[in-house]
Structure 1
Amino acid sequence: MDPETQGNGSPTVWVDDEERELVFQGWNPSEELLAEISTTEWAPGHAIGIPQGEAVVRVPLRMAAIIRKALDDAERSGLL
C-alpha cells in the first residue's frame, strides 16, 4: 500500500497467487492523459488506445520498493 496514504483508497499492489498476476489499484488517469493515449503511441510498440477489457491506472513512483517487494514475494513463492 502507498505509504503516504492512510489506507483509505490507497494505491496498492499485491500478488494474486492463484492467477499468477500482480494486481494494481491506483488512481484513474486524467482526461488529458486518456486523450493522449487514444491518439498517440504512448508506449513504444503499443497500439494507439486502450484495448477493450483493459484499463490504465496511475501508481506513484514512491511505490517502487513496494512493487519490487511484490515481485520478490512472487519469486520466493515460485510464481516467477
Structure 2
Amino acid sequence: MKLEFIGIDPDTGQSGSPTVWVDAETRDIVMQSYKADEATLEECSHSTAPGHAHGIPDHETVVRIPARMVPALRKACDAAERRL
C-alpha cells in the first residue's frame, strides 16, 4: 500500500497529530485523529442513519476530526477524485 501524504493538523506539534493521507491504489482517505469521547460514542450509537441498525459495529470506530482539518480533507477529496 502506498499512501500519499495530504496534510497534518496545523495546530499540532511533533507528535500525536491528526493527519490525512490518500491510498494511491484504492483512493480511500486514511485518517489519524482523536478517539471520540464516551459522550460522542454514545450519541453515535443511538443516532439513526437511514437504512442502518443502531450501534457501531465491532470492525468500525468513531474518530473526531478537528474543524481546522477541513482544508486537508478537501485536499484529500480532490486527490482521491483525480485518481478516478
Common fold: TM-score over 0.5: yes
Q: How many residues align?
A: 76
Aligned to 2:23: 16
Give 1:19 shift.
2.9
Q: Give the alignment partner of residue 62 of structure 1, picking from 57, 68, 72.
A: 68
Amino acid at match of 2:72: I
Give 1:41 shift.
1.7
Q: 1:31 to 1:70 in 2, by over 3 A?
A: same
Name structure 1 gaps, 5 residues minimum.
Answer: none
Give 1:36 shift.
2.2
Aligned to 1:51: 57
Cα distance in 2 for partners of 1:49, 1:74 equals 29
Higher relative strand content: 2
**Which 4+ runs in 1 deviate beyond 3 A?**
none
Q: TM-score, normalised by structure 2?
A: 0.77
Secondary structure at 1:9 match in 2: coil
Secondary structure at 1:13 match in 2: strand
Cα distance in 2 for partners of 1:35, 1:74 equals 31
Could you tell me the percent identity over the aligned residues? Answer: 51
